[in-house]
Chain A
Amino acid sequence: MMQYGLLVMGAPYSSPAPHSALRFAHAVLDRGHQVAGVFFYHDGVHNASSLMAPPQDELNLHDAWIELHQQHAIPLDVCIAAALRRGLMSESEAQRHGKQAFNIASPFELTGLGQLLELQQRSARFITFA
């Protein structure tokens, strides 16, 4: 049994990276390994948007990540600088920046890049999807 860390840097519906990462995560778990965490960086931060509304008969990636979290308690960390730049923020960040709306909520957590490096340090295997 090993700890896997995943880095996702592709945006939903413009890159196949999030789909690959999700399939990979499920396959890793099926093998009896653990996923220590998923870190969203670059355009990957869009995966965390709760305002994502794809057609009903298409996989909602945001919800798929939450399901993964709910089933396996996997942390979903989002780079705060990459997110804010792209218009993704939590309620508290929205207040801090004087914005009217927010689109990031638990279990997605806005966090610093230090978390990415920490995830890489403590994962036996670290796989990037971009």
Chain B
Amino acid sequence: MAATNALLVIIRHAPHSSNWLREGLDAALVAAAFGQPVHLLFMGKGILALLKEQGSGAPGQKATLPTIDMLEMYDIDKLWVTKEALQNMHLSTDSLVDGVTLIAEREVAGLLQQHTKILNF
């Protein structure tokens, strides 16, 4: 993949732990709302945002899953996850929402190089 003007938003925090996840996704949505192409890279516990069986509303906060589902309405369709991160958490792709693209951990560095704009959450 050649250099891209898309904004890369890196998501590294899990739902229901802090507001990093929500505020990272908000930044991605706003960029997309302004017409900027946006790509998402999920690292570490950030992957938990993509679990398809997340309940709603618990505990007293807005659920993440509806926002993940909503990404396609903003034409955000690149959701990268590394195979190694999945393995570390003993998860398989079956537990994740549709539309996730698996990459190898050694591809992460290249991905960062290709994007001129990066926001890390």
List A residues at the B interface (Cβ < 8 Å).
Answer: 7, 41-42, 81-82, 85, 112-114, 116-117, 120-121, 126, 128
Contacts and interface: CB of A to CB of B under 8 A. Distances in A.
B23 A117 contact: no
A24 B34 CA distance: 30
Interface string B36-49: 10000000000000
A113 B117 CA distance: 15
Contacts of B23: 41-42, 82
A114 B27 CA distance: 8
B30 interface: yes
B15 to A, nearest CB: 16
Contacts of B36: 117
Contact of A81 (B26, B34, B119, B120): B26
Given A42-B19, A114-B34, A128 B120 contact: yes
A82 B120 CA distance: 17
Contacts of A117: 7, 27, 30-31, 34, 36
Given A7-B119, A81-B26, A116-B27, 9 more contacts: A42-B23, A82-B23, A85-B19, A113-B30, A114-B34, A117-B30, A120-B119, A126-B117, A128-B119
A107 B120 CA distance: 27
A120 B34 contact: no
Interface string B10-54: 000000000110010011001100101000000000000000000
